[in-house]
Amino acid sequence: MTGPRTLLALTAATALLWSAAAVPASADHGGHRPGGAEVRFATFNASLNRPQEGELAADLATPDDEQAKDAAEVIQRTRPDVLLVNEFDHDAEGRAARLFQRNYLSRGQNGAEPIRYPYRYTAPSNTGVATGLDLNNDGRAVTEPGQPGYGDDAYGFGAFPGQYGMVVYSRYPIDTDAVRTFQTFRWADMPGALLPTDPETGEPFYSAEERRELRLSSKSHWDIPVRTGRGTVHLLASHPTPPSFDGPERRNVARNHDENRFFADYVSPGRGGYIYDDEGRRGGLKPGARFVIAGDLNADPNDGDGHPRAVRQLLEHRRVNGGLLPASEGGPLAAQAQGGANTGHTGDPAHDTADFGDVPGPGNLRVDYVLPSRGLPVRGTGVFWPAPGEPGAEAAGASDHHLVWLDVR
């Protein structure tokens, strides 16, 4: 069971029609207004995480936090209708999510217009939840927050339960009763899971007890049905673990691959029968259902340290329109100015969504995605990474990730 959930919902309808056609990707960030014929979906890893439990809510209790003001400005300038925010610390009452709306989104930032989301959704995350197991094989199981190594032995890395969580803001109603969460799905229950092995011994890296307990999701996977007025679109939200901070067993590379595989199987008729949600309901997404896969997937199709097939499982999926290439003006300029690891990348920097540092980091990568199901007519897509001096360029520094948006009609 996931525990308490927080949900508010929105009114208004907008048309979403079936079509096989898609238009070229666009780097335009503006021009979108609610109530038209398009719905803008977006994902934004806003880096609104804090080192101590309750600190984010305390920071958001006043309208004075500079990082939160910048994150809100990015959202106000792009004006998504349905927005997934990654790295937003979760609390059981949803207090931080309410305060971010009241004190930041509802107040115009740096000349941008306020934006109101009457509906939002959040649920618990595996991050910082103690397992009582020695998951990093250092000879001790750390169960007390604040102790060295605590995050490494949690279900998902985190200093406290809910750190690096997620929240969804929406202008459109959410079908609360039909929401599915997969926080407790066990990694070992995925057929053919890439569970790591010790390269020196060839034995499983995790003990039998650990394999019986370890969950797949480092945060959670959510299926959130959004009512658009002309039918439901399922927002499939996640934030897989980074494929880094690994030992020779490459356990995070393997987990990232399988966390991305989860939704690839979930939307595949005949492949999702093994899946169960936190309420015990089995099976994947209903055939023919419309969906948008969104999140910081921590996987670049061309560069970085991840498994080469991690995100390609989605981009090349027959039910996913993975050929869309959201672009920005700022990405190529940043890659050129920073040099370093960027000079060895094969991917086009116009499609980068994150800046992870260039020495010794992996450079700028495409890791944030908004991927529609085939049949949803796409009107535009882009990455909010303005060129220096353009509106919102300074606010875009609120996070090392940049908001990615997608308009569907």
Closest C-alpha among 122, 107, 234, 139 to residue 178? 234
pLDDT at position 34 is: 60
Q: Do residues 215 and 125 make contact, with C-beta atoms less than 8 angstroms apart?
A: no
Tokens of 88: 């937003």
pLDDT > 60? residue 103: yes
Residues of the chain with pLDDT > 90, as a percent, come to: 87
Residue 145 is assigned to a structural domain of this protein: no
Residue 265 is assigned to a structural domain of this protein: yes
pLDDT at position 36 is: 66
Q: Do residues 287 and 336 make contact, with C-beta atoms less than 8 angstroms apart?
A: no
Name 253's Cβ contacts closer than 8 Å, sequence gap at least 6. Answer: 243, 246, 305, 306, 307, 310
pLDDT > 70? residue 10: no
Number of separate domains in the chain = 1
Confidence of residue 136 (pLDDT cuts 50, 70, 90): very high
Q: Do residues 401 and 44 make contact, with C-beta atoms less than 8 angstroms apart?
A: yes
Instruction: Give the CATH number for residue 328.
Output: 3.60.10.10
Closest C-alpha among 203, 207, 240 to residue 134? 207
The average confidence (pLDDT) of the chain is 91
In three-state secondary structure terms, 369 is strand
pLDDT digits (tens, 9 = 90+) for 317-337: 999 999 999 999 999 999 999
pLDDT digits (tens, 9 = 90+) for 258-269: 999 999 999 999
Residues 94-109 have a mean pLDDT of 98
Residue 220 is assigned to a structural domain of this protein: yes
pLDDT digits (tens, 9 = 90+) for 46-68: 999 999 999 999 999 999 999 99
pLDDT digits (tens, 9 = 90+) for 157-216: 999 999 999 999 999 999 999 999 999 999 999 999 999 999 999 999 999 999 999 999
pLDDT > 60? residue 223: yes
In three-state secondary structure terms, 244 is coil
Residue 157 is assigned to a structural domain of this protein: no
Rg (CA), the chain: 20
pLDDT at position 231 is: 86
Task: Please report where in the chains the tokens 């015990």 appear, as a residue.
Answer: 280
Residue 61 is assigned to a structural domain of this protein: yes
pLDDT > 50? residue 16: no
Name 222's Cβ contacts closer than 8 Å, sequence gap at least 6. Answer: 121, 123, 166, 168, 179, 180, 181, 182, 235, 236, 237, 238
Q: Tell me which DSSP letter residue 198 carries.
A: -
Q: What is the spatial distance between Cα 372 and Cα 293, in angstroms, rounded to a whole number? A: 6
Q: What is the spatial distance between Cα 68 and Cα 315, in angstroms, rounded to a whole number? A: 32
Other C-beta atoms closer than 10 Å to the C-beta of 248 total: 10
Residue 121 is assigned to a structural domain of this protein: yes
**Range of lowest pLDDT (29-38, 56-65, 392-401):** 29-38
Q: Do residues 260 and 322 make contact, with C-beta atoms less than 8 angstroms apart?
A: no
pLDDT > 50? residue 3: no
Phi and psi angles of residue 74, each rounded to the nearest 5 degrees, phi first: -55, -45
Tokens of 157: 């890395």
Closest C-alpha among 368, 383, 371, 367 to residue 314? 371
Closest C-alpha among 9, 119, 26 to residue 378? 26
Owning domain of residue 267: 6-127+162-408
Question: Rounded to the nearest 5 degrees, what angle is found at the Cα of 125, between the Cα atoms of 301 and 303?
Answer: 15
Residue 143 is assigned to a structural domain of this protein: no
pLDDT > 70? residue 246: yes
Residue 336 is assigned to a structural domain of this protein: yes
Other C-beta atoms closer than 10 Å to the C-beta of 62 total: 10
pLDDT at position 350 is: 98
Q: Do residues 69 and 153 make contact, with C-beta atoms less than 8 angstroms apart?
A: no
pLDDT digits (tens, 9 = 90+) for 106-135: 999 999 999 999 999 999 999 999 999 999
pLDDT at position 31 is: 55
